[in-house]
Amino acid sequence: MRRGLAPVMEGARFVEVVAHRGDLRWPLPKDFVPRLKGRTVSGLGRRAKYLLVDLDSGEVLVMHLGMSGSFRVALDRGETIAGHYYHDRSKDTAHDHVVFRMSSGATIRFNDPRRFGSMKLVPRAMLDQEPLLRALGPEPLGNAFDAAMLAQACHGKNTSLKAALLDQKVVAGLGNIYVCEALCRAHLSPRRKASTIADRHGAPNGRTERLTDAIKAVLKDAIEAGGSSLRDHRRTDGSLGDFPHNFRVYDREGAPCPTRGCKGTIKRIVQNGRSTFFCPTCQK
DNA sequence: CATGCCCCCTGCACGC
DNA sequence: TGCGTGCAGGGGGCAT
């Protein structure tokens, strides 16, 4: 999503900001619009599942899509900008809660039926103290995230490996889909106790190596495919991401296990109230 | 401190 | 066709 928005946001100014309704996950501040309008975007970043829009006012717009949020981008004239193609044609404006018109010519609509998404303005200097970001673990695609780090983070964890990977303090930015997919690729059971993937004293080993590799690989593949779209998740051009075609286990209950040589069948279980999909035969 | 459960909200698939 | 039920990608807050 960050990659989709960057060409139309970076260096652009908020020409018009409309908040159709401010009761998202948290209420928008009442001066939300004036604090954004006229501001220029000096950079667009991301931390875990949060988009970070750097403003020339010294504030950062922190945005989260929640479960059902998406950004749709349409260009006032033409459909291409900086080599990126945008042709949002979606007509379902019913849940467009916030709309940005940028000086780049882009209209960006934040659409979120369930309103679990959020927007918040934080002074740049306070970002490292921001409660939403403070406790987040390492970025899974960063160099700091490796087998040693994962082994350490899972060391002594009494919960399931699935729950541990979903915990944003262990590693930041993995959701239900990508945890299931990474565990499948690493041939590790979601039911395994998290502390058992490392050695006794929290040292890395073949398993933690496999799992870090699997996490990085699944995220890279998903980003390249344009993300995972279920129902209302969209790319910025309004199209659906292609990654679901590459799901090996998620939402594939009853399907044959895709692992080469495995004769197992994908099973669905519930852990901590969330669906887990995995192959009990090859994921140990 | 660590863990698990409930809840926020809307839409959709399913069974009757 | 219409209605009730269960379930969905996240994560804060609270009870245990």
Nucleotide nearest to A234 (CA to C1'): C9
Q: What is the predicted pLDDT for the residue at A104?
A: 95
Question: Among A70, A98, A45, A87, which Cα is nearest to A229's?
Answer: A70
Question: Tell me, what's the pLDDT at A233?
Answer: 43
How far: A8 CA to C1 C1' (Å)? Answer: 45
Helices marked H in A187-247: 206-224
Confidence class of residue A20 from pLDDT cuts 50, 70 and 90?
very high
pLDDT of res. A232 = 41
pLDDT, one tens digit per residue, over A82-128 is: 777 777 777 779 999 999 999 999 999 999 999 999 999 999 999 99
Nearest-CA residue relative to C1' of C11: A66
The answer to whether A89 touches A235, Cβ cutoff 8 Å, is: no
Closest residue to C10 (CA to C1') is: A66
Q: For residue A234, what pLDDT is reported? A: 55
Q: What is the separation, in whole angstroms, between the first and last Cα of chain A?
A: 33
Residues contacting residue A34 through CB under 8 Å, at least 6 positions apart:
none
User: pLDDT digit string (tens) for A158-190?
Assistant: 999 999 999 999 999 999 999 999 999 999 999
Compute the half-sphere exposure of residue A82: CA atoms within 13 Å on the CB side of its CA.
13
The per-residue pLDDT for range A188-228, each reduced to its tens digit, is 999 999 999 999 899 999 999 999 999 999 999 998 887 76
pLDDT at A226 (0 to 100)? 79
Percent of chain A with pLDDT strictly greater than 90 = 83
- Edge-to-edge strands, sheet with A50-55: A41-47, A50-55, A59-64, A118-123
Q: Do residues A118 and A64 make contact, with C-beta atoms less than 8 angstroms apart?
A: yes
Burial pattern A233-260, b for ≥16 Cβ within 10 A else e, equals bbbbbbbbbebbeebbbbebeeeebbbe
Residue appearing with tokens 């103290």: A129
Q: CA A92 – C1' C2 distance (Å)?
A: 24
Pairing mode, if any, of strands A50-55 and A59-64? Answer: antiparallel
C-alpha closest to that of A212 among A251, A170, A177, A176: A170
Q: Can you say whether residue A260 is alpha, beta or left, with left for phi > 0 and alpha for psi between -120 and 50 degrees?
A: beta
Rounded CA gap, A250 and A32, in Å? 38
* Chain centre distance of CA A84: 21
Look at residue A70 and tell me whether its pLDDT is greater than 70: yes
Q: Is A54 exposed, middle or buried (0-12, 13-18, 19+ CB in 10 A)?
A: buried
- Averaged pLDDT of chain A: 93
Q: Is A230's pLDDT higher than 50?
A: no
A49 CA, C3 C1': separation in Å?
37
Report the alpha-carbon distance of residue A284 to residue A276 in Å, rounded: 14
For helices A206-224 and A176-185, the axis angle rounded to 10 degrees is: 130
In angstroms, the CA of A157 and the C1' of B8 are apart by: 29
Q: Which of chain B's bases lie under 7 Å from a protein CB?
A: 2-12
State yes or no: pLDDT of A231 exceeds 70: no
- Domains of chain A (ranges; CATH) run 2-134 (3.20.190.10), 147-278 (1.10.8.50)
Protein residue ranges contacting nucleic strand B, Cβ under 7 Å: A 68, 94-95, 113-116, 157-160, 163, 167, 194, 231, 272-273
Which phi and psi angles does A52 have, rounded to 5°?
A: -120, 110
What pLDDT does A236 receive?
Answer: 62
Q: What is the pLDDT of residue A237?
A: 67
